[in-house]
A and B are shown apart, each in its own frame.
Chain A
């Protein structure tokens, strides 16, 4: 009896003791410190590998990582707004783009946010890299740090350049300001050009001439980009100095002297990436585990309902315009500089309104051969797939016309290797997107020569570009004969004067760079946007019977820039973010 009583007390005491211990343990503060899993703190990035990884993330963001509107291809902002193409597809599909192609942008549009956010993500990543660089471990070599800094600043300049030419001045934030240190108070009242020039100049002065990895930018890429930045400010003399040097001496990161790829079509082939023309390209890769490396911004821009007979099979976005196709009309081997390409006599014959089962003979008139590397049209071989069948591959002809885009499309022979099947649609490729290519540089340099140099040099630059296009080995063939009546010549007679020379160079940029995101920005830069775009709308609108462009027009003084996103103004205040004129 006594023993039992004692036992009871003992057991009770042990129980209480255990409970007390547990209480002590769980009240200990360390119990409420749970380690982070799968992520890192800033400190861990300050070594060489951490810095390198931070920099990779900045490069990564250049294509917007699946934010279709944020990529440097600018297929909506540069090409659709520039009349190279329209939205394509059905009126209601991704209808947020409809007001853009009609120059009726609203500050509340999601697509506008996406462009803004995607570039600021890149800037934030560059700033984070530069910030960690300031705290780098002492073991990190100085030249390595300089290399990282120069690349990060090159990329930051690129993101701000994209924002500047699209939105005008946006808040300028660098590595010295962040969440908690007043970043939300930074106004958009500073001219970004000097900031962009400073970063790109630093890159130019500190990057090596070549790189061991081809995806890294080099000194020559910075020089080309800085020249382009000067051109956007009409600083022709400063630009010319840079162009003169780099056209002669420039080399790609993989040490190829700058030049034009012999065949135009090979500029847009994954198997020919990182060629002599590639000054700076976004390195695309297929089958990496994420289609975000495989040009995700183009995933909708493919012929429709092709099945196994054609590439992509979804979703018929980004259809070249009638005006763009007509622009390839030549006379005497030259483009119609008087802009009569849309006249009844010159416009291209199309299969508008025809079923694929109905007979159609393609236009027999003279054409620049680049048309059939740039635009898919009825009856012409669509790369190595088959003759473009017209309506069967177009989602909604009455809404968007008879054409389909052709650049950056994968070849049948590259299916599965330079193309990625791991997502909802097969339209993902490993074709690098050229942000600056040598033909672009030659034509920009020609502009600079016209303004502050020699018309003869300008002519030479233009002829180099046209000469490559005129190479018969590059013509699209149907059997043993060219697929269409290709007639193209280089300019033999000297350019008669500056005005005519400007027309020639500007037209050449349109033809050479169509669908590559340049056109709208070029028109704004030249001050010809309203005249060019209103003429395009007047011709184009009646040809799209569902009315995609009916009643639209371009308003000077407003439509050159997009509105700043309304949600940023609501969040930060109208005193911090000043809206662009007209919105």
Chain B
């Protein structure tokens, strides 16, 4: 919950000086307006104006304003000179989140045909989806056509294809993550929270209101932001699929060749409003258009031989595969200030200051050979071996190939004589395996090369002194390393598959361990080599993942006609970086910053993306507490008290013990975003033609770095911006037990400038993700309609979430392998209701 701007408590040390400041502080000015949030009059009757006039000639207060006279001066078009506006305070309070969101319908339609004859089989499908986003002007449309078919050319020769064509369009995408913005962006949702509630959405004449009414800092009107997206469209056409030929020269042997690929073409346009309603506006109308394409392919040839004789069965496969990850190009053009702002008028020819950017790429090539052999005796003893040799263009010629073997064995112990006397075990299999897998994903195609390049932004200079143009030069853009090789994941596991009590209970347990050797990471190199060059990925670290996965399934009859199915899954996971090359203790290459807060460090002995900073040991209670504590910059009552953990490094490079000084050496591990346990429960009930299904998901033991608190819980972060309800319970000399620090003006090491454990919250949650209820019309009734299936259903998503997390949604994403679990303003989870019809003819 968020409330309007608050009044800060000044620091105790500055109490006298602060008295003077308070009189000029905007919060005090607002308090005069009798806004209920400031404890003033209960029912204000007089209108209060936040701004009347031009940017600098603002007269504010309860003065009567002649709106008709002001209308003559009103101007919100920056091309016509000074902005002149009248903004009336919204004394009821604007719900900004409500103003940018809506209830949004989704319509999905799917139509499928399948059929075939003696020598052919086919499927055609058509589907459409029209989805409105919950943010204003945020829509998605998708049309897809699918065709799968297979023909018997000869009795032992088959030809087939799987093809899909899709067309997608999207409106109002902004930010990453397909337009909804990822949790670590500063997006419209964050703006909605930072926007003071006393500012209305619109000014008195229907234009936008905003922080141009001074004293409210710099959030931008998010409604204006969303409305500015109304013509920003993206289109994408995509085709993908494969063609294959299968030939059986002798019984048991199948030769298969398959050629697959995907082609993608996209284009889009976007328009940027020339704003006038904010304290910080852009100063032009901007236009951008972009397009591009990519194509990737994979070619696979295999020979598979299967034979069973007596109690032995063998299955042998050898194959070869070549692929390209995608080649193509993309470009974009930008321009400013068209004569008319009508999207139908604007094209790249009638805007000014046009700039163009583009690039092309060839993708990476991979070439692999592989073989697999399975042998089983009476389905009781099963052994399987795989070996593959993978080559990648991402590595230098010396290290291009990697060989990765794997072997697994299984013993169906329930088939043994001695187990026949255990009647409650219907089936029990013990499995074990060991395997190696190669990975090259983090490696750039150009990793092995030292390269030079240039761009107008990075390396141009107006050498001729023209004031209007610049010549582009070349600098080293990438440092190459030819020694980089495949990362290898060594997995070992042991597991049990059981079917117990006459099939009533399925049980699967897996204990596994994955050692990642030669973890590929771009290790930082000395700044003296040129910090702007991309550094190569090298095999720098060793990481261990280990866990236990459990599946429990049961089904049965409760009473006559009422059946149930219950499946429970659970996974325990531990992730740790166990070694870093060159004796280093951490890797700084991935070190994202959020307004000066750097929340993560990938360091030895902890998980990936582990949170890092100062450990808050409560808040200073009084001057004596400050005096008694280690020396800490900016320390004062009500501020963070950091734990004194360590002193400077000794001769061996290890940190020494507490030294009575809080400094960089005292930063420490603050928690991991990797959940210790994740699990799900799926429950199905069937009664006659009714079916009911529910799915719950839980994630436990993970932490979230809630950096949105930086914006909402500290007065000086952005003075005048909205604040969180937590601030109401912030520290004061009479509220010593508070967790939220004193609400004050100072911004320093002991307040809001450092990463510390205040931001780290428990991210555990339990969510009822899906509930559905369906009814299938009985077959007898369908016959008359010439249908063979008709089902009606209703479903709902995200009915409830149980969590202690203080942010909007604990399901916080991020970049999977580097930084995740950081929340600046997560797109909140939406609750949806679906009704549908499945018809089969």
Q: Which residues of A contact B (CB under 8 A)?
A: 8, 11-12, 15-16, 18-19, 22-23, 25-27, 29, 31-42, 44-45, 50, 52-61, 65-66, 90-96, 98-99, 104, 106-108, 110, 116-118, 120-121, 123-125, 128, 170-171, 173, 178-179, 183-184, 186, 213-216, 254, 270, 273-274, 283-290, 292-293, 304-310, 313-315, 353, 355-357, 386, 389, 392-393, 395-399, 417-418, 421-426, 430, 432, 542, 545-547, 550-551, 565-568, 570-574
- Cα of A65 to Cα of B749 in the assembled complex, Å: 29
Check if A38 sits within 8 Å of B299, measured CB to CB.
no
Q: Hey, which chain B residues are within 8 Å of A61, CB to CB?
A: 459, 475
Cβ-closest chain B residue relative to A544: B17
Residue B355 contacts which of A36, A170, A289 (CB distance < 8 angstroms)? Answer: A289
Check if A57 sits within 8 Å of B454, measured CB to CB.
yes
Whole-angstrom distance from the CB of B27 to the nearest CB of chain A? 12
1/0 per residue B517-559: CB within 8 Å of A? 0000000111111111100000000000000000000000000
B456 CB-CB contact with A under 8 Å: yes
Check if A308 sits within 8 Å of B55, measured CB to CB.
yes
Residue B286 contacts which of A173, A397, A422 (CB distance < 8 angstroms)? Answer: A422
- Cα of A123 to Cα of B529 in the assembled complex, Å: 9
Top 3 A-B pairs ranked by shortest CB distance? A124-B530, A56-B473, A57-B473
Q: Which residues of B contact A (CB under 8 A)?
A: 11, 13-14, 17-18, 20-21, 23-25, 54-59, 78, 81-83, 154, 156-157, 211-212, 214, 217-218, 245, 247, 249, 255, 257, 276, 279-284, 286, 299, 301, 320, 322, 334, 336-337, 353, 355, 359-365, 367, 369, 391-393, 397, 400, 445-446, 449-479, 524-533, 584-586, 588, 593, 596, 598, 633, 649, 653, 663-664, 714-719, 745-749, 752-753
Check if A128 sits within 8 Å of B24, measured CB to CB.
no
Q: Hey, which chain A residues are within 8 Å of B653, CB to CB?
A: 573-574
- Cα of A507 to Cα of B30 in the assembled complex, Å: 44
- Cα of A178 to Cα of B526 in the assembled complex, Å: 10
Q: Hey, which chain B residues are within 8 Å of A392, CB to CB?
A: 55-56, 58, 214
Whole-angstrom distance from the CB of B587 to the nearest CB of chain A? 10
Check if B633 sits within 8 Å of A545, measured CB to CB.
no
Q: Hey, which chain A residues are within 8 Å of B475, CB to CB?
A: 54, 57-58, 60-61, 121, 124-125, 128
- Cα of A283 to Cα of B468 in the assembled complex, Å: 10
Question: In the complex where A31-B365, A128-B530 touch, is A39 in contact with B456 (Cβ < 8 A)?
Answer: no
- Cα of A349 to Cα of B337 in the assembled complex, Å: 43
Cβ-closest chain B residue relative to A397: B24
Cβ-closest chain B residue relative to A311: B283
- Cα of A571 to Cα of B752 in the assembled complex, Å: 27
Check if A37 sits within 8 Å of B747, measured CB to CB.
no
- Cα of A417 to Cα of B353 in the assembled complex, Å: 11
Check if B596 sits within 8 Å of A309, measured CB to CB.
no
Check if B470 sits within 8 Å of A285, measured CB to CB.
yes
Residue B588 contacts which of A27, A66, A571 (CB distance < 8 angstroms)? Answer: A571
- Cα of A422 to Cα of B469 in the assembled complex, Å: 14
Cβ-closest chain B residue relative to A428: B283
Q: Hey, which chain A residues are within 8 Å of B525, CB to CB?
A: 179, 184, 571
- Cα of A420 to Cα of B454 in the assembled complex, Å: 21
Question: In the complex where A285-B467, A353-B23, A393-B56 touch, is A19 in contact with B301 (Cβ < 8 A)?
Answer: yes
Q: Hey, which chain A residues are within 8 Å of B156, CB to CB?
A: 8
Q: Hey, which chain B residues are within 8 Å of A106, CB to CB?
A: 663-664, 749
Check if B468 sits within 8 Å of A286, measured CB to CB.
yes
Whole-angstrom distance from the CB of A559 to the nearest CB of chain B? 14
Residue B282 contacts which of A58, A118, A290, A426 (CB distance < 8 angstroms)? Answer: A426
Question: In the complex where A39-B451, A356-B58, A566-B664 touch, is A305 in contact with B280 (Cβ < 8 A)?
Answer: yes
Check if A183 sits within 8 Å of B749, measured CB to CB.
no
Cβ-closest chain A residue relative to B450: A42
Cβ-closest chain B residue relative to A40: B452
Check if B716 sits within 8 Å of A120, measured CB to CB.
no
Check if B24 sits within 8 Å of A19, measured CB to CB.
no
- Cα of A95 to Cα of B478 in the assembled complex, Å: 32
Residue B452 contacts which of A34, A42, A116, A214 (CB distance < 8 angstroms)? Answer: A42
Q: Hey, which chain A residues are within 8 Å of B474, CB to CB?
A: 40, 45, 50, 53-54, 56-57
- Cα of A421 to Cα of B284 in the assembled complex, Å: 6
List 20 contacting pairs A-B, 8 Å CB cutoff, sorted by A: A27-B367, A39-B451, A39-B452, A54-B452, A58-B473, A95-B596, A99-B633, A121-B531, A173-B528, A215-B462, A284-B462, A285-B462, A286-B467, A288-B469, A305-B211, A307-B54, A398-B745, A418-B467, A421-B336, A547-B14
Whole-angstrom distance from the CB of B577 to the nearest CB of chain A? 16
Check if A287 sits within 8 Å of B468, measured CB to CB.
yes
Q: Hey, which chain B residues are within 8 Å of A94, CB to CB?
A: 596
- Cα of A77 to Cα of B126 in the assembled complex, Å: 64
- Cα of A65 to Cα of B459 in the assembled complex, Å: 8
Check if A283 sits within 8 Å of B83, measured CB to CB.
no
Check if A59 sits within 8 Å of B461, measured CB to CB.
yes
Residue A290 contacts which of B20, B280, B362, B456 (CB distance < 8 angstroms)? Answer: B456
Check if A8 sits within 8 Å of B747, measured CB to CB.
no
Q: Hey, which chain B residues are within 8 Å of A573, CB to CB?
A: 653
Which of A61, A66, A389, A426 counts the most B-chain CB atoms under 10 A from its CB? A61
- Cα of A289 to Cα of B753 in the assembled complex, Å: 34
- Cα of A216 to Cα of B473 in the assembled complex, Å: 14
Q: Hey, which chain A residues are within 8 Å of B54, CB to CB?
A: 307, 309
Check if A422 sits within 8 Å of B336, measured CB to CB.
yes
- Cα of A65 to Cα of B450 in the assembled complex, Å: 22
Whole-angstrom distance from the CB of A565 to the nearest CB of chain B? 8
- Cα of A171 to Cα of B13 in the assembled complex, Å: 43
Residue B524 contacts which of A29, A96, A567 (CB distance < 8 angstroms)? Answer: A567
Residue A36 contacts which of B249, B446, B459, B745 (CB distance < 8 angstroms)? Answer: B446
Whole-angstrom distance from the CB of A14 to the nearest CB of chain B? 10
Residue A18 contacts which of B17, B214, B257 (CB distance < 8 angstroms)? Answer: B257
Check if A178 sits within 8 Å of B529, measured CB to CB.
yes
Residue A98 contacts which of B284, B286, B334, B747 (CB distance < 8 angstroms)? Answer: B747
Whole-angstrom distance from the CB of A181 to the nearest CB of chain B? 10
Q: Hey, which chain A residues are within 8 Å of B748, CB to CB?
A: 95, 98-99
Check if B477 sits within 8 Å of A307, measured CB to CB.
no
Q: Hey, which chain B residues are within 8 Å of A293, CB to CB?
A: 456, 460-462, 470
Q: Hey, which chain A residues are within 8 Å of B286, CB to CB?
A: 422
Q: Hey, which chain B residues are within 8 Å of A572, CB to CB?
A: 526
Residue A306 contacts which of B13, B56, B337 (CB distance < 8 angstroms)? Answer: B56
Which of B218, B367, B462, B746 counts the most A-chain CB atoms under 10 A from its CB? B462
Check if A288 sits within 8 Å of B460, measured CB to CB.
yes
Check if A273 sits within 8 Å of B362, measured CB to CB.
no
Q: Hey, which chain A residues are within 8 Å of B473, CB to CB?
A: 52-60
- Cα of A553 to Cα of B59 in the assembled complex, Å: 41
Whole-angstrom distance from the CB of A287 to the nearest CB of chain B? 5
Residue B360 contacts which of A8, A37, A551 (CB distance < 8 angstroms)? Answer: A37
Cβ-closest chain B residue relative to A565: B527
- Cα of A426 to Cα of B353 in the assembled complex, Å: 14
